Structure 1
Amino acid sequence: MTDDIFGQETSLSDPASLDLWNKVQLGVLAHGADAPVHLGKLLEAEPGFTLAQSAKGLFLMLLGRSEMRDGAMEAMKAAQIGYESALPRERLYADALKLWLAGRPSQAVQLLEQILRAHPADSLAMKMSQAIRFVLGDNQGMRRSVERVLSAYAPDHPGRGYLLGCHAFALEETGDFTKAETAGRQALWMAPDDAWGLHAVAHVHDMTGNARAGLDWLTGREDAWSHCNNFRYHVWWHKALMHLDLGQTELVLDLYDREIRKDRTDDYRDISNATSLLMRLELEGIAVGTRWEELSELCAARTEDGSLIFADLHYLLALAGRGRAGDTRRMVQRIHADAATAGRNEAMQRMADPGRAAASGLEAFGEGNYGLAFDHLAQARGTMQLAGGSHAQRDVFERMTIDAGIRAGRLTEVTAILDARRAQRGGAEDTYALARRSLISAALDGSGAQSLPAE
């Protein structure tokens, strides 16, 4: 038995296999595109390595697609082959995978936390806890988890930079923007390929309405995310949001075509980047041409998936109001049906809340029924955090709620939402919010300002 790069004992004995395992872990921390390649080679050499098989299954579950469950199930079965000879720490990874496959990711996280109590410097367990909590919308848990293990990471620990990147994002998502920016900058200094820490700082600039500073931060640091898997598209998405806030819509569309949808995958994370950006553009009255058509075709094939409500809601953005009334109705009905049979399955529980109200709101918005859309979307607001993702990602639904309310004449209620949005951002407002306040003010004083663009 040998220790890995983070000082954790493993059941591996072959140096070449250990080297591959170290590369897998570092690749996961850096969101590296080469991590699956290293994992494949490792499992060819060590098919009975329970920890690697379990990690593979967890990675597949994080992809949030129904067809990945079969692969995750196979990984779980393979993890059981060497289970009895595996170390206790390694077995807990397998147990966590089993719980997630049973629809209980929160309990899977608790097993990862059990690992961290005994092995606080296990960087993979730290990252996986962060990743699953992110899917669950547990931002407070993300912060508690990473802060419990901070003291275990000496300055020379190989995972310290990535740990600080996770801390930075958790700080930002819990509203501690100043500390988040400091931690993110330090993370990138310690781990130059830490795209997660880099993007945490981008989130800070988004939340504080400082697009110019955000562009200054990202520009020239492309090497920090060029090595990434599809996470690199998400960083480009952040840059596009900054250009949008500055009114530079031609640059936004150029980034969309050249980087964000460079590879036209149906990965839900790529779809969410694309659909949310196009919707933001349309809310500003910007014509996006035929770009919805490609997304609508892909999303129409996902109406029965039901793995994550976050994914489903972004699929609906590409269907509702796009001449896909039948597909939209099927997806909304499926979400309601899933919600009715949720039981202990956490994904299905999120179909119920916030899923049902949010999905019905998006359908009504696409039909131009803005009063009904506002009613449903406003109802979903209180629990939208449970859909997962970040504040920046969920903000597209906040914007649609606000715009639906303005179009329906619900100005007092919309003002309250804008005030809450400003408070969440530490008192800062972006150009989107300022423009909506101007519209509301003009409507209230009767000056006859131009209304929002209609769908």
Structure 2
Amino acid sequence: MRTTDQFGYDLNIASTDALPHWNSAIHAFLAHGKETPIHLERALELAPGFALGHACRGLFCLLLGRRELLAPARECHDIATRSLHQSEHSDRETAVVHALGDWLSGWPSRCADRLDAALKAYPRDALLLKLVHAVRFVLGDSTGMRASIESAFPAYNETHPFYGYVLGCRAFALEETGDYRAAETSGRAGLEHARDDAWGLHAVAHVHDMTGRSDDGVKWLESRPDGWAHCNNFGFHVWWHLALMYLDQGHTDKALALYDSEIRRERTDDYRDISNAASLLVRLEIEGVNVGARWEELALLSDKRAEDGCNVFADLHYLLALLNGGRRMSAERLINGLRTRSSDTGDIGLVSRNAGVSAGLGLEQYRKGNYASAFHLLSSSRQNLHMIGGSHAQRDVFERLTIDAALRAGLFEDAEGLIKDRERFRGAPDNFGAQRLETCDTMRRTSMIMLDERLRAVPA
């Protein structure tokens, strides 16, 4: 049965009863709501041949980056493909099904390009917009993310039912491409239209992080405690942002308390939850905080995911947990997996080859205390590290480790260069960088004293 969806486009869905559940699933997806899968499954129960619904379910599975979800994603693709052959579907619906096939073939980049092409033809489809936004986020393609949303944005205004969420996506794309003022304006405006737009709320928190305004960031998040209460595990990530603000302020006790009470409230093995936890523990340890036995829980879960190989961003965070949790053999398995996949065709091979292997080996050397080697390996992956996906704030843990490795190796000039480069990239200094610049200055003065011939007991 063909009908018109909430965006004004043709939709092939067999049951009118399924349509409200489909609309609710889209709304929940845009809001990062925990009800998303419930609404989607209900729509598919009522319309079991719903091609677009099955294709989206398959993409949702792949976005979770778990090996065991590859089979359900393939099943979704098979059902959706059969449906395309059995009845007439629009180019938009067909494109999403084929985009799922692109990713299953090892090319999420082609998936994103196909979705973008569909978005150009159907710009008011906020689901398409959010899907390509999510895929390009996984690819670390901030430039593509911004180009995608800017091309569609003229089709949106206050009359669109999801205008606020689109503003939130635009805010994040602007932030990731360094346009901080416009990003903050867009994120704040989005919340005026969609109070539950956790993505836009978190985009503004990113601006505070990148511009060294942790005091403003704490106020922003603490004044909106209900802003992400409706979320799926994305809510843990917003708590993570608050913990980063506390850490920048020097309140390591508050950051650690948030780790226990919110960030790891549900001890899942979702790679996004593991990355929140592992990266925060690393940051705390760099600041000299004893995190106790917290690594053990993460290492146990990461051990079971060490051979997933679905997402290099996930792999590197699993590796952090394994190395710091003392599971060296599992860490070696994971690194060997990165090496093996580096020869593969497809996007995962490209990312493993250009960033994953060198970064993984650098993390291993850092944990072994071979700081000069760690610095050189981590530095060699810096230029391509965006390819692993995630945000600048998430990948900053690797920047901090690289800087710390340089300092521990006595390479204060290299560390100083990295710190200043990081500051230029971010747009403003933060306390981490300022404190390490002071350390570099102390090391330089110490070096000059040691080279002063007048202070030698015996002339050289």
Quick check: TM above 0.5?
Answer: yes
Tell me the equivalent position of 1:433: 433
- Which amino acid is 2:368 matched to? E
Retained in 2: the 8 A contact 1:112–1:125? yes
Q: CA deviation at 1:447?
A: 8.9
Give 2:284's match in structure 1, choosing from 274, 281, 296: 281
For structure 1, the 5+ residue unaligned runs are 449-455
Tell me the equivalent position of 1:240: 243
Count of residues in Structure 1 that have an aligned counterpart in Structure 2 = 445
Retained in 2: the 8 A contact 1:2–1:13? no
Retained in 2: the 8 A contact 1:280–1:396? yes
Inter-partner Cα distance in structure 1 for 2:276 and 2:148: 27
Tell me the equivalent position of 2:258: 255
1:77 corresponds to 2:78: yes
Q: CA deviation at 1:87?
A: 2.4
1:30 corresponds to 2:31: yes
Retained in 2: the 8 A contact 1:321–1:367? no
Q: How does 1:116-135 map to 2 (within 5 A)?
A: 116-135=119-138
Inter-partner Cα distance in structure 2 for 1:431 and 1:113: 39
Inter-partner Cα distance in structure 1 for 2:338 and 2:357: 6
- Which amino acid is 1:424 matched to? F
Retained in 1: the 8 A contact 2:17–2:46? no
Q: How does 1:29-48 map to 2 (within 5 A)?
A: 29-48=30-49
Give 1:226's match in structure 2, choosing from 226, 229, 235: 229
Q: How does 1:283-298 map to 2 (within 5 A)?
A: 283-298=286-301
- Which amino acid is 1:41 matched to? R
- Which amino acid is 2:373 matched to? L
Q: CA deviation at 1:5?
A: 2.0
Q: CA deviation at 1:418?
A: 0.8
SS in 2 for 1:294: helix
Inter-partner Cα distance in structure 2 for 1:189 and 1:8: 26
Inter-partner Cα distance in structure 2 for 1:442 and 1:235: 36
Q: What are the superposed Cα offsets for residues 239-286 of structure 1, whole Å, 9 maximum, x if unpaired?
A: 000001111111111110110000000000000000000000000000
Q: How does 1:15-414 map to 2 (within 5 A)?
A: 15-84=16-85, 85=87, 86-340=89-343, 342-343=344-345, 345-414=346-415
Retained in 1: the 8 A contact 2:341–2:348? no
Q: CA deviation at 1:321?
A: 4.1
Q: Tell which structure's C-alpha radius of gyration is larger.
A: 2
Retained in 1: the 8 A contact 2:58–2:77? yes
Choose 9-18 or 276-285, whichever is displaced more: 9-18
Choose 265-274 or 13-22, whichever is displaced more: 13-22
- Which amino acid is 1:113 matched to? D
SS in 1 for 2:403: helix
Q: CA deviation at 1:6?
A: 2.2
Q: What are the superposed Cα offsets for residues 99-120 of structure 1, whole Å, 9 maximum, x if unpaired?
A: 1000011111111112112110
Inter-partner Cα distance in structure 2 for 1:321 and 1:114: 43
Retained in 2: the 8 A contact 1:415–1:437? yes
Tell me the equivalent position of 2:453: none
Retained in 2: the 8 A contact 1:322–1:366? no
SS in 2 for 1:2: strand
- Which amino acid is 1:107 matched to? R
Q: CA deviation at 1:9?
A: 1.9
Residues 255 and 321 of structure 1, relative CA distance in 2, 3 Å threshold: closer
- Which amino acid is 1:275 matched to? A
* Structure 1 residue runs of 4 or more that deviate by more than 3 Å after TM superposition: none
- Which amino acid is 1:435 matched to? Q
Inter-partner Cα distance in structure 1 for 2:331 and 2:114: 38
- Which amino acid is 1:43 matched to? L
Tell me the equivalent position of 1:446: 446
